[in-house]
Structure 1
Amino acid sequence: MKSEQQFWQDVASGVNPGWTVRVDPLSAGPTPNFTRNDAFIYVVDVASGWLGAGATTTEDAAKILASSRTLLADQDNVLTLGSVNTADVAGKAIALCGAAHADAAAPEVAAAVSMTVAALHETQTYARAVHANRQSGQADMAGHWIYIAYRTKNGEGIITRPVWVSSIHPGIGQTGRFLDPDRLLEIVRSVIHGDTSSTQTSVGDAIAADGGAMVSPKLLLPS
């Protein structure tokens, strides 16, 4: 059985689309233009306020999905994780990055963004986004994908929530560029507020049932 650290290294090396990964885009400078990329992934650890982001293409996202499923099929690699569910693995990778305040060179960051791509493919949000993208002539994975990981106060696991923003959404989405940092923070704060203040959704209900979420002051709505 391989160690947990080795697992993350395997994910980082085995799922490598050659994308650009950024850490804490909220404090980054001007966003470069990635003309070829159409899928922008943002991962958020709510407890620490840590964020990471990666840019890739729909074609490379399909390769990431296939590679991730192959890696997770290796039971020996994931015994220390306690699950082969991609949402669980992605959530744990994001939480580990947040707890360590990981920088872009850490294998956990590449693993977190890569496993998030695989986890997103299994959500209803992805299915709805694909339908909308095809109607507007966009590639299946096109747009901005925010994957939020909640650590609960009772410590019984990590709850994840996907969010999709179309690259052609008026006034929000951007094609070939990361979201404006202020806009990204606005969206993240709004979603977190909704999830942690209401039990009207499955995510909100799960958070409440597990004692509530730990939320960094950085990600709270302004009072």
Structure 2
Amino acid sequence: MPLTPSDFTALFTDQSHCTLRGGRLATVSLSEPVDLALPTGRVVVCDPFTGLGPFRPRPYTATVRPGRYPVTVAVVSFDNDGTPARVTAAARLSVADAPVARWELALGEHEDVTELGENEFFGYETDYGDVCFVDGSGVDALADHEDRLVEDLRAYVAADFARPPLWVGSDGEEVVAFNTGRGSGSYPVWVGRTDSGDVACFVADFLVLEKPGTVGTGTH
């Protein structure tokens, strides 16, 4: 059976409690939401410093109506052997103000969940633990402004994850960036759907909650 979703109800309820991998108890706090423009409605989640060329990130097959949508980051606070610690646990792009009836893995073209084994998933790779939401039309601009993105992410961490940085490129392309709680690796993205099947949200899960082992299968 492929990977199952984390408890996103807990992760996106301010001041809720959860259990991290390794058994530590943590408290959730939510960042200030930041609106992201999706001019084509094609959602991409990727490392903002990713190489392009043959490894260019591709949009997911689930699309939304073009518009502006809020991105919220869930941060967990815990005691790390006597030292207070905070890490990002997940990030949500909210599309509709409606309950999620079911979750499904966000898939790229030609990806099929029936090909996945136990706890496997199709995901994206990050070399440095940095992640972003971006419209499919803005992916090519990522490589042109890496220095600005590095500065913004450092400021975000220094500000205790209060508000993920929104970067606006020279041609109006927008990126909301943040970092993962577990650093480099492969991570899944989930699509939450309403009872009617409409997209309610996209969630980038950084796999910090206690659950069975997971196996990534590379980028989409």
Range of TM-score over shorter length: under 0.3
Larger helix share, 1 or 2: 1
Larger strand share, 1 or 2: 2
- Tell me which of the two structures has the higher relative contact order, counting C-alpha pairs closer than 8 angstroms and 6 or more residues apart: 2
TM-score (norm 1): 0.24
